[in-house]
Amino acid sequence: MAQAAVTPASAALPRVNPLLPAFTLWWREIVRFYRQPARVVGVIISPLLFWVVIGAGFGTSLQLQSTGQGNYLNYFFPGALIMIVLFTSIFTMMSVIEDRNQGFLLSVMVAPVHRSGIVLGKVLGGTTLSAIQGLLFLIFAPVIGIHIGLEQLLLVVLIVFLVAFSLTALGFAIAWRMESTQGFHAIINLFLIPLWLLSGALFPISGASRWIKWLMEINPLTYGLDALQLVLFPETHPPTTLALLPSIAVLTAFTAVVFFAGFLIVNRRSTLPAA
């Protein structure tokens, strides 16, 4: 009997470190972003517009006692920041659907890449873009009298990163099985607005009715907002559900859960066509 010409032992190929594919997918996301000038302009202009129009409008027509800050504009600042991050994070993951329709995803799926590397790269790409956009919004903080020290800034960056990462991962998990961006829009709109409204961004949890309060307590975004309130207004912040560190812990746990869900969805192989 002749020896087999090709045996598995003959070709010990090096394993691929999952960080390299993750890096390359992340970088591609960034490059594709800055090559589309319309998106770059949108990122800078939209927070400004948002702040001026909505914030000023609400600020003069509403005075909430229970916010504990007298000025609604102040109360609304972290909520607006969260909203910017929320929308940008989830919608950056439309690129998953584009990648699938344009065929790029196929070539990633047949590469010897640990599936966690694929999720990490795509999600970090979206996270970077939305976190930058959220942090740009901080430029307006001094305008309403919020002065941020270095320690505060680092905490804000951490919180914004966690919120952005978890929401991008959520967008990724939803987008993975979607075939059209229209379908994605439809699903996202179902819970994007409630998610934001029930985070305490518009009204504080302390004044809410019982069942709304309950919904707000199970909304992970609430803890992102709480954490931001605590950092930005250490003296005058409205009542929050948890203290700073527990809030960040809840946020971190949520991030881990959504990331793992994304990984499981991508890692699943079946007798149906993948990608």
Partner 1 sequence: MATTLQNSITTNVHREAASIIQIENVGHSYGRRAALNGVSFDVRPGEIFGLLGPNGSGKTTLFRILSTLMLPGSGRALIAGFDAASQPDEVRRRIGVVFQAQSIDIKLTAAENLWHQGHLYGLRGPLLQERIAEMLQRVGLSDRAKEKVQTFSGGMQRRVELAKGLMHRPSVLLLDEPTTGLDPGARRDLWLYLQELRNQERVSIIITTHLMEEAERCDRLAILSSGQIVALGTPAELRSEIGGDVILLEAEQPESLASRIEQRFQTKAQVLDNRIRMERRDGHKFVTDLAEAFPGEIQSLSISKPTLEDVFIRRTGHRFWTEQEQQEEQK
Residues interacting with partner 1, by CB under 8 A? 1-9, 11, 13-17, 20-21, 23-25, 27-28, 31-32, 35, 102-104, 106-113, 269-275
Nearer to partner 1, 19 or 208 (CB): 19
By C-beta, is 4 or 218 nearer to partner 1?
4
- The residue (of 1 and 38) whose beta carbon lies closer to partner 1 is 1
Tell me whether residue 19 or residue 144 sits nearer to partner 1 (CB atom): 19
Least distance between partner 1 and beta carbon 31 (Å): 7
Under 8 Å between Cβ of 131 and 85: yes
> Least distance to partner 1 from the beta carbon of 118, Å?
9
Tokens 């027509």: give the residue. 61
Is residue 73 a contact partner of residue 59, using CB atoms and an 8 Å limit? Answer: yes
Q: Is the separation of the CB atoms in 123 and 168 below 8 Å?
A: yes
Please report, for residues 23, 128, 169, 239, 257, the alpha-carbon distance to residue 263 in angstroms, rounded to integers and kept in the order given. 17, 19, 9, 36, 10
CB of 19 to partner 1, least distance (A): 10
Nearer to partner 1 (CB atom), residue 98 or residue 217: 98
C-beta of 150 vs 272, nearer to partner 1:
272
> What are the CA-CA distances from residue 236 to residues 146, 182, 196, 200, 232 (Å)?
11, 43, 22, 16, 9
Q: How far is the CB of 22 from partner 1 (least distance, A)?
A: 9
Cβ-based nearer residue to partner 1, 103 or 149:
103
How far from chain centre, in Å, is Cα 275? 23
Q: How far is the CB of 30 from partner 1 (least distance, A)?
A: 12
By C-beta, is 132 or 275 nearer to partner 1? 275
Alpha-carbon span 220 to 164, nearest angstrom: 12
Q: What 3-state class would DSSP assign to 107?
A: helix
What minimum distance in Å lies between the beta carbon of 213 and partner 1?
Answer: 46
Which tokens is 11 given? 């070709």
Question: Cβ 33 to partner 1, closest distance in Å?
Answer: 10
Amino acid of residue 30: I
Radius of gyration of the chain (CA): 21
Angle between helices 72-92 and 220-232 (to 10 degrees): 130
| Angle at 43 (CA atoms; ends 230, 161), nearest 5 degrees | 35
Contact 21, 107 (CB under 8 A): no
Instruction: Give min distance, CB of 113 to partner 1, in A.
Output: 6
